[in-house]
Amino acid sequence: MAVTRTAPAVRAGTIHVLPKPFGIGATIGGVAALAAAFVGLLLDRNEALQEMMILVVVGAGAVVGGRTLGRFQERPKRISPPMAMSMLVAGWSGAALVALIAFALSGEFESIPSAFFEAVSATTTTGFTTIVDPQELTHAMRFLRVMLPWLCGLGVLIAGMGVLPVAIAGIELSPSRGLRRSEQLVTSTRGAVRNIFGMYLLLTATLLLGFLLGGMGPFDALSYALSTASTGGMANHAASIGHFDSAFIDWVATIGMVAAGGSLVIVWAALRGAWDSVLHSTELRLYGCLLLIGFLGVWLIGDNLTATEAAFSVSSMLSTTGLRSGNWAAGGSFTQAILLIGAGIGAMTGSVGSGFRLARVVRVALEVRRSLRGLLYPHRIGVIRIDGEATPEQSLERTYGYLWAHLITLTSIAVLVNVSSLDLMGTLTFSLSLISNVGIVLTDENIAAAVVLDRWSQTVAIVAMVLGRLSIYPVLVTIAGFARWLGRFRPHRSIGGS
């Protein structure tokens, strides 16, 4: 008699929780498209009527479709860290898909791959572009390029405050410990969204006012306020902020980038009067020290940069914004090294910036110190404390694992990317900018955000930008989850016997 082993029942697993976040992401992209269409109606008028109609159709369809998707998903009883990370990737994918459709149908990009590259760059808040002179684009398309990073940066920030710290490196990356409930930024989902959105909007409004006072027109002021607050770096001009040649505007942008690269948790604690937690924040002290040391190093030792340009460059790179003012690439190798190290380190945890993150740098540095002390005092048990509290070893192991994943990814990108116009320094800068979402490349002692890439390099760059924005782990977990889900449908062997 033959005995047949039947295939196991297919469980929903992670897949069943992805439609709603994908729909939310699509809704975000749709809102950006509708906002761009409204701006085009005001400023472009009849010059780009067809493009505005496309944006309206794409935006309205994305909003309706996104909200409809959310209704087909039941609320899960429990969301595991892998599930949460996959939901983050799904949300970003929804926004990126809408951006791709809008860019591709606009007809302002030379090909669909170029539109895809632009869509990924915008939704990952990277700032690279295939457009040499953004002034050639309509107002609607220019606004869409800055609105997408602003909305996606907000979405990643809200999701990351409750997902990535726990899933990747421990809850202490979100330093709410030691605070009373009334002083905490995240107490509930609704409260987190309200508080984070309010602070994000306040920063944007302050930057808008500052740029208007600096002499920018209303459209440029709003565009650069959105781009600065989101650390997106998308610009309306080929020379970025440097186009305005204004020290006042440079300082407004510098302060805005420093604020955007700082932790919202720390800012919230300060607003609530919890100064003890603010002053004892190890990450905040490191952030301030790096800004000061970087500024002094670039200004005093580097060449051809004024104090304003030095402060602007350091804040732009450390916050991973990527806006440009003075040409720091001509300041010598020392200046380039300082700024590229700052871009690799990245912003504070709990900010909209990218990079390796200062909290992880603190952990790695403390582990090095513990190892050195272990050589001097072999019988002494060392405990790593951050902000006065012991850090769990499991959380430290995750940080070290992420460090290796980050380094391997950066090395792989540098090896795989193939841009004939770039030398070794340019290739390294380009790779670092992709994984840190900075959006700056060095070419012949000049810095630029516009790049010309072949299909292979575009593909590598797209993957690198996504890995950098979503912190590597969520993307890998999502890919593994889909592979596991598809594996359940493979035919199973029959076991025969008499």
Quick one: pLDDT band at residue 181, thresholds 50, 70, 90? low
Task: Please write the tens of the pLDDT for every residue from 187-207.
Answer: 666 777 788 888 999 999 999
Would you state the pLDDT for residue 122? 95
Mean pLDDT, residues 386-405 taken together = 83
Read off the amino acid at residue 455. R
Contacts of 273 (CB under 8 A, 6+ apart): 183
Mean pLDDT of 362-388: 83
pTM equals 0.88
Contact 55, 33 (CB under 8 A): yes
Token pair of 14, please? Answer: 């992670």
What percent of the chain clears pLDDT 90, i.e. is strictly above it?
47
Whether the pLDDT of residue 495 is over 70: the answer is no
Helix, coil or strand: residue 386: strand
What one-character-per-residue DSSP string does 296-361 give?
A: HIIIIISSS--HHHHHHHHHHHHTT-----S-GGGG-HHHHHHHHHHHHH---TTSS--SS-HHHH
Residue with the bigger pLDDT between 13 and 104: it is 104
Q: pLDDT tens digit string along 9-59?
A: 444 456 777 888 899 899 999 999 999 999 999 998 777 788 899 999 999
What is the rounded average pLDDT of the residues 433-446?
89
Domain ranges of the chain: 15-274
Q: How far apart are CA 318 and CA 261, in angstroms?
A: 7
Average pLDDT of span 430-457: 90
**Under a CB-based contact definition with an 8 Å cutoff, are residues 497 and 119 in contact?**
no
CA atoms of 102 and 29, how far apart (whole Å): 9
* pLDDT tens by residue, 260-305: 999 888 888 787 777 877 888 888 999 999 999 999 999 988 777 8
Residues 169 and 229: their CA atoms lie apart, in Å, by 25
Lookup result for tokens 């020379």: 239
Only one residue has tokens 């890439």, namely 453
Q: Give 337 or 496, the one with higher predicted confidence.
A: 337
Quote the pLDDT of residue 486: 67
Residues 6+ positions from 408 with CB-CB distance below 8 Å: none
Tell me which residue of 356, 253, 254 sits closest to 315, measured CA to CA.
254
Grade residue 497 by pLDDT with cuts at 50, 70 and 90.
very low
> What's the pLDDT score for residue 485?
67
Q: Provide the CB-side half-sphere exposure for 474 (13 A, CA).
A: 27
**Parallel, antiparallel, or unpaired: how do β-strands 441-443 and 389-390 relate?**
unpaired
The 3-state DSSP class for residue 49 equals helix
Range in 88-102, 223-237, 272-286, 336-350 the model is least confident about? 272-286
Confidence bin at 162 (pLDDT 50/70/90)? low
- For residues 68 and 37, the answer to whether their CB atoms sit within 8 Å is no
Quick check: 224 and 203 in contact, CB under 8 A? no
The answer to whether residues 266 and 278 touch, using CB atoms and an 8 Å cutoff, is yes
Lowest mean pLDDT among 40-44, 72-76, 88-92, 492-496: 492-496
pLDDT at 342 over 80: yes
Q: Residue 273 is which amino acid?
A: G
Q: Give the span between the Cα atoms of 441 and 451, in whole angstroms.
A: 8
For the chain, percent of residues with pLDDT exceeding 70: 86
Q: Output 293 or 350, whichever has higher pLDDT.
A: 293
Question: Please, what's the b/e burial string for 394-428 (b: 16 or more CB within 10 A of its CB; e: otherwise)?
Answer: ebbebbeebbeebeebbebbbeebebeebeebbbb
Higher pLDDT, 120 or 383: 120
Mean pLDDT throughout 416-443? 88
Q: How far apart are CA 235 and CA 215, in angstroms?
A: 17
pLDDT of residue 2: 46
Average pLDDT over residues 70-75: 71
Mean per-residue pLDDT, 452-468? 92
